[in-house]
């Protein structure tokens, strides 16, 4: 007999309807499982509402605006882009609305998922409560995500600020200038985008480089690009105190470059503020102690199968403490830190004909292989379409295809994808030993006789 919504025992109760929760719920229902999905805010979570989707929609307009600004690069007359800031934001919201039905309650219910709207918390390892209703399950998936860290800076509670949760819907008009606190991927992509949309942007980063997990050369190239576009970047700068006067937000900070014996005072101001200083896991409301699930300030602890300390309770997405994962791609910096021996193949974008004809030849691809072998350990691409180009390497890594094999695959000419083939060519050249070259030379000489 089919059970009423909320009654009996579910196979899986998923908490959080962001990327991780939605995929889990749809997958379980698709396999015939009885699944409940609980969401306290908007279906789709951060990615759809306050993250990837609105951000990439804005980036798309901002890129076009920048191309118009750079029109001379394409042989056009110099010109200033004509646009209305608010309309660019309207377009972003319209694009987001077009994607939203994929993540909607109606769609998930049509897939057979019981959707509950409200805040969930554990009352035992086998039960959660949402809006006074108890749900029992054999398995649980915690997919409650993360949110922007609000830093403990003196005065921060007294000034208005945006985070990724508010900027896409609550920034109603173009501010003259904006301070972006935090030079990670979120601060960088929103900072560059807002700058391209005509806001005078200052990115302030505590560490010695922006985009901290990336290799130094990647960060340097990005910083040069930002500065060339008019973004001010302060690294090694720690904001200490903030105040608002006559509509202007001012930070007092300490500037301490690496190796400097002492810090010196610094000041920076702007008409608006975006906090992008990292993410903290959303687990306070969950009452994880009642479930016996172990956690740290970085998130819920999981093993390689994403099981928490309670094997029937899993955690996925931003909430899962990913430091546990061992099989992620390596960057050069990380390989060095872990003393992993590697070979490095770098292809500058200016070697790729398509990039040259498109006037987009700033950037590079860096591929790390295990020392003396074909095995790809990681790839970094700084280029237009990098997110798409990366997948050739991702597939190669997951299917255990070596870098040399990529070179023997025909790549359409002229395409940006030739970056990958050229990296493969570079690898293959290292296999041509002096002895092998001598043999080839001899063979060719004989063939001419
Ligand atoms: C500006 C920006 C740009 C980004 N761009 C990209 C990108 O290009 N590519 C990419 O891969 N990633 C990107 N990200 C990161 C991406 O958005 C997150 O990694 C992703 O959303 C994490 O998904 P999740 O399912 O773990 O959590 P979330 O999407 O945060 O979903 C968690 C959900 O759980 C709900 N919830 C929390 N607690 C409870 C509770 N107790 N009860 C019920 N519900 C609860 C929340 O309301 C939320 O809806 C970006 C992030 C930002 C901020």
The tens digit of pLDDT for each residue in 186-205 reads: 999 999 999 999 999 999 99
The closest alpha carbon to 349, from 226, 212, 218, 210, belongs to 218
**Strands 127-130, 120-124: pairing kind:** antiparallel
The closest alpha carbon to 372, from 420, 431, 328, belongs to 431
Give pLDDT, residue 19.
Answer: 96
The tens digit of pLDDT for each residue in 44-93 reads: 999 999 999 999 999 999 999 999 999 999 999 999 999 999 999 999 99
pLDDT of 437 strictly over 90: no
The closest alpha carbon to 348, from 364, 362, 359, belongs to 364
Give pLDDT, residue 438.
Answer: 87
CA of 43 to the centre of ligand 1 (A): 10
The tens digit of pLDDT for each residue in 240-278 reads: 999 999 999 999 999 999 999 999 999 999 999 999 999
Q: What is the mean pLDDT of residues 144-164?
A: 97
Instruction: Quote the CA–CA distance of 120 and 103 in Å, as a whole number.
Output: 19
**Strands 133-142, 9-15: pairing kind:** parallel
pLDDT of 324 strictly over 50: no
Instruction: Quote the CA–CA distance of 210 and 50 in Å, as a whole number.
Output: 22
Name the residue of 54, 56, 145 whose CB sits within 8 Å of the most ligand 1 atoms, as the mutation to test its pocket.
145
Cβ of residue 15 lying under 6 Å from some atom of ligand 1 = yes
CA angle 220, 225, 226 (to 5 degrees): 100
Query: Going by CA atoms, what residue is nearest to atom 30 of ligand 1?
Result: 145
Query: Going by CA atoms, what residue is nearest to atom 8 of ligand 1?
Result: 52
Cβ of residue 17 lying under 6 Å from some atom of ligand 1 = yes
Instruction: Quote the CA–CA distance of 31 and 112 in Å, as a whole number.
Output: 11
Give pLDDT, residue 422.
Answer: 97
Q: What is the mean pLDDT of residues 291-314?
A: 96
**DSSP codes of every residue in 307-339:** B-SSTTEEE-GGGB-GGG---SPPPHHHHHHTT
Give pLDDT, residue 244.
Answer: 98
Query: Going by CA atoms, what residue is nearest to atom 49 of ligand 1?
Result: 45
Task: Name the pLDDT band for 431 (thresholds 50, 70, 90).
Answer: confident
Cβ of residue 51 lying under 6 Å from some atom of ligand 1 = yes
Name the residue of 47, 186, 283, 295 whose CB sits within 8 Å of the most ligand 1 atoms, as the mutation to test its pocket.
47
Query: Going by CA atoms, what residue is nearest to atom 39 of ligand 1?
Result: 144
pLDDT of 321 strictly over 90: no
**Chain mean pLDDT for the chain:** 95
Least confident of 74-88, 104-118, 218-232, 332-346: 332-346
Cβ of residue 276 lying under 6 Å from some atom of ligand 1 = no
Instruction: Quote the CA–CA distance of 208 and 96 in Å, as a whole number.
Output: 35
CA of 115 to the centre of ligand 1 (A): 18
CA of 53 to the centre of ligand 1 (A): 11
CA angle 124, 127, 132 (to 5 degrees): 105
CA of 272 to the centre of ligand 1 (A): 24
Instruction: Quote the CA–CA distance of 264 and 257 in Å, as a whole number.
Output: 9
Instruction: Quote the CA–CA distance of 341 and 353 in Å, as a whole number.
Output: 32
Give pLDDT, residue 425.
Answer: 95
CA of 179 to the centre of ligand 1 (A): 24
Cβ of residue 55 lying under 6 Å from some atom of ligand 1 = yes
pLDDT of 347 strictly over 50: yes
φ/ψ of 12, rounded to 5, equals -140, 135
CA of 389 to the centre of ligand 1 (A): 24
Give pLDDT, residue 213.
Answer: 87
Cβ of residue 21 lying under 6 Å from some atom of ligand 1 = yes
Cβ of residue 387 lying under 6 Å from some atom of ligand 1 = no
Task: Name the pLDDT band for 1 (thresholds 50, 70, 90).
Answer: low
The tens digit of pLDDT for each residue in 99-133 reads: 999 999 999 999 999 999 999 999 999 999 999 99
Instruction: Quote the CA–CA distance of 410 and 352 in Å, as a whole number.
Output: 15
Query: Going by CA atoms, what residue is nearest to atom 20 of ligand 1?
Result: 47
Taking each helix axis from N to C terminus, what angle separates 216-228 and 185-196, rounded to the nearest 10 degrees? 20
What is this structure's pTM? Answer: 0.94
CA angle 226, 53, 159 (to 5 degrees): 65
Task: Name the pLDDT band for 323 (thresholds 50, 70, 90).
Answer: very low
CA of 422 to the centre of ligand 1 (A): 36
Name the residue of 13, 38, 52 whose CB sits within 8 Å of the most ligand 1 atoms, as the mutation to test its pocket.
52
Ligand 1 atom closest to the Cα of residue 52 is 5
């Amino acid at each position: 007999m089919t059970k009423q919504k909320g009654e009996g025992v579910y196979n899986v109760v998923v908490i959080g309807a962001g990327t991780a929760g939605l995929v889990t719920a749809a997958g379980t229902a698709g396999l015939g499982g009885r699944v409940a999905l609980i969401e306290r805010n908007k279906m789709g979570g951060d990615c759809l509402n306050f993250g990837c989707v609105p951000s990439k929609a804005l980036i798309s307009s901002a890129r076009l605006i920048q191309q118009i600004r750079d029109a001379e690069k394409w042989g056009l007359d110099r010109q200033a882009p004509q646009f209305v800031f608010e309309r660019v934001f309207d377009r972003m919201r319209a694009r987001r609305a077009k994607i939203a039905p994929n993540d909607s309650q109606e769609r998930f219910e049509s897939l057979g998922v019981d959707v509950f709207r409200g805040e969930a918390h554990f009352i035992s390892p086998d039960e959660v409560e949402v809006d006074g209703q108890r749900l029992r399950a054999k398995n649980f998936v915690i997919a409650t995500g993360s949110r922007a860290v609000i830093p403990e800076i003196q005065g921060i509670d007294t000034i208005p600020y945006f985070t990724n949760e508010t900027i896409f819907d609550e920034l109603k008009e173009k501010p003259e200038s904006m301070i972006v606190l935090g030079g990670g991927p979120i601060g960088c992509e929103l900072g560059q985008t807002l700058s391209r949309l005509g806001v005078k942007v200052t990115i302030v980063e505590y560490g010695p480089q922006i985009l901290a997990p990336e290799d130094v050369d990647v960060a340097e190239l990005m910083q040069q690009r930002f500065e060339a576009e008019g973004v001010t970047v302060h690294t090694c700068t720690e904001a200490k105190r903030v105040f608002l006067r006559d509509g202007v937000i001012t930070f007092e900070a300490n500037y301490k470059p690496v190796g400097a014996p002492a810090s010196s005072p610094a000041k920076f101001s702007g008409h608006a503020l975006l906090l992008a200083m990292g993410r903290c896991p959303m687990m306070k409301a969950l009452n994880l102690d009642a479930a016996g699930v172990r956690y740290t300030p970085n998130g819920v602890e999981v093993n390689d199968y994403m099981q928490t300390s309670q094997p029937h309770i899993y955690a996925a997405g931003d909430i899962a403490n990913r430091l546990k994962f061992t099989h992620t791609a390596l960057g050069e910096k990380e390989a060095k830190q872990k003393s992993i021996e590697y070979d490095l193949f770098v292809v500058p974008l200016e070697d790729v004909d398509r990039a040259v004809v498109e006037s987009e030849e700033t950037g590079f691809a860096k591929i790390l292989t295990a020392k003396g072998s074909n095995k790809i350990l990681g790839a970094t691409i700084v280029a237009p379409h990098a997110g798409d180009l990366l997948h050739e390497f991702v597939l190669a890594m997951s299917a255990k295809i070596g870098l040399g094999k990529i070179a023997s695959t025909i790549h359409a000419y002229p395409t940006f994808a030739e970056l990958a083939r050229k990296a493969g060519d570079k690898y293959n050249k290292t296999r041509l030993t002096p002895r092998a070259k001598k043999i080839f030379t001899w063979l060719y000489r004989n063939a001419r006789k």
